[in-house]
């Protein structure tokens, strides 16, 4: 007796196999869509984010650059958080966040720059060296080529992974203007969603130093990560740039060195330092007492009053002395001291601490016991604790009475 197959059992098996094949087909389609569509959709999301963050970074750079001239402090929110929407049947990458970091890049050097006016006591043509850092933003994309923002001395630019560089600002040399914004502080590169970058002017001034070069050209040397080709293009049309040299990064550093030489003439130098990172306030402000940081930052003193003024016997004269830092910005909160003259004493009616304009007003009081018709006198005003930073004020003490002829032989 032979066994015959059951028709119902065969149909059930076929249906099960059909479901398995259909499920496998759906999985295959989903997998194919995941492989084909997700990268494209993700790249589109990242492109939209890149447009937003680029606008935020341009705002940040402009705000930092402006703070160098206005002395303002502030903050700029940057859309660092990259969010990928949930999609039906497709798996999006996890949320990601870009990071900021400050990088100690080295020093800026200005050579053969001699100031016109009182600042020449410091800006006398010798090399002046300033430490600086750079600000770098690193996106964190799953598909898109990474574009990093660099804010350095004299330039801000976007750098793509394929080597493309898009410059947002070049301020190093523009005609007869030289602008250097030195960065300091520390951003440690931690990943923080919705990063708010704070900035504050440590030293700033809306004044510029007028400088000139002597027989040797005025020379500016800055560290940079921008390529030589791009720098050559940026400076090609500058009429007073006579030479541009580029030393590639050496062992142990990622930063090259750019040196720019300028034709003989007068230039406006704007040099400021801005803190970028966690500091909510910057600058020195007006202090009730001496500020050690402010005192340390004073590079030179200048006399703002006329020198050689004559004072009547027993009379008085007001003298204004100002303190400046290396960049030519006034320093508030520094303490000044002085030596009395031979024929007069000095006092500070409003205190010996420099105000927000770096000023201290002193009063010279001549004695009434001078016997000669004309007597020369002087007083020396110095930075407290550093007598090498000083200014000398000269007076003529004159007697006016019936017994004295000022013009006698």
Q: How much is the pLDDT for 2?
A: 53
Q: What is the block-wise mean pLDDT of the chain (409 residues), using blocks of 10 residues? A: 53 59 55 55 72 80 80 79 63 70 84 90 92 85 74 87 84 93 72 68 75 90 94 95 92 88 93 70 40 76 88 91 87 92 90 91 89 86 92 88 48
> Running DSSP on this structure, what letter comes out for residue 63?
H
Cα–Cα distance between 334 and 382 in angstroms, integer? 11
Q: According to CATH, where is 2.60.40.10 located in the chain? A: 297-398
Domain 297-398 grouped into CATH 2.60.40.10: yes
pLDDT for position 84: 67
Which tokens is 282 given?
A: 């910057």
The residue among 343, 395, 400, 409 whose CA lies nearest residue 373 is 400
Most distant CA pair in the chain: distance in Å?
163
Q: In this structure, are strands 188-191 and 73-77 parallel, antiparallel, or unpaired?
A: unpaired
């Amino acid at each position: 007796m032979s066994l015959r197959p059951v028709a119902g059992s065969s149909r059930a098996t076929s249906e099960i196999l059909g479901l398995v094949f259909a499920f496998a087909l759906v999985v295959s389609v989903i997998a194919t869509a995941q492989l084909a569509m997700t990268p494209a959709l993700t790249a589109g999301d990242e492109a939209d984010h890149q447009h937003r963050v680029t606008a935020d970074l341009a705002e940040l750079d402009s705000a930092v650059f402006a703070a160098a001239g206005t002395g303002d402090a502030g903050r700029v929110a940057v859309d660092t958080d990259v969010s990928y929407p949930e999609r039906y049947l497709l798996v999006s990458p996890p949320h990601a966040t870009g990071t900021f970091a400050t990088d100690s890049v080295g020093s800026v050097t200005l050579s053969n720059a001699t100031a016109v006016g009182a600042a020449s006591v410091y800006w006398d043509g010798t090399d002046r060296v300033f430490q600086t850092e750079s600000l770098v933003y690193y996106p964190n994309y799953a598909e898109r080529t990474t574009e990093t923002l660099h804010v350095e001395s004299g330039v801000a630019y976007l750098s793509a992974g394929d080597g493309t560089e898009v410059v947002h600002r070049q301020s190093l040399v523009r005609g007869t203007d030289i602008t250097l914004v030195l960065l300091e502080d520390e951003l440690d590169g931690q990943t923080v969603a919705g990063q708010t970058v704070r900035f504050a002017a440590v030293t700033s001034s809306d004044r510029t130093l007028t400088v000139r070069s002597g027989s040797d050209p005025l020379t500016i040397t800055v560290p940079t990560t921008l390529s030589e080709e791009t720098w050559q293009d940026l400076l090609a049309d500058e009429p007073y740039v006579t030479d541009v040299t580029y030393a590639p990064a050496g062992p142990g550093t990622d930063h090259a060195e750019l040196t720019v030489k300028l034709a003989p003439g007068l230039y406006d130098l704007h040099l400021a330092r801005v803190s970028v990172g966690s500091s909510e306030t910057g600058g020195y402000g007006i202090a009730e007492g001496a500020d050690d940081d402010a005192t340390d930052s004073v590079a030179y003193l200048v006399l703002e009053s006329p020198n050689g003024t004559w004072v009547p016997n027993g009379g008085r004269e007001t003298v204004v002395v100002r303190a400046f830092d290396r960049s030519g910005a006034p320093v508030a909160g520094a303490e000044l001291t002085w030596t009395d003259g031979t024929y007069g004493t000095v006092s500070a009616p409003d205190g010996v601490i420099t105000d927000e304009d770096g000023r201290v007003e002193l009063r010279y009081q001549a004695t009434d016991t001078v016997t000669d018709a004309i007597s020369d006198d002087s007083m020396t005003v110095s930075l407290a604790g550093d007598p090498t930073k000083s200014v000398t004020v000269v007076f003529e003490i004159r007697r006016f009475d019936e017994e004295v002829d000022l013009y006698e032989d």
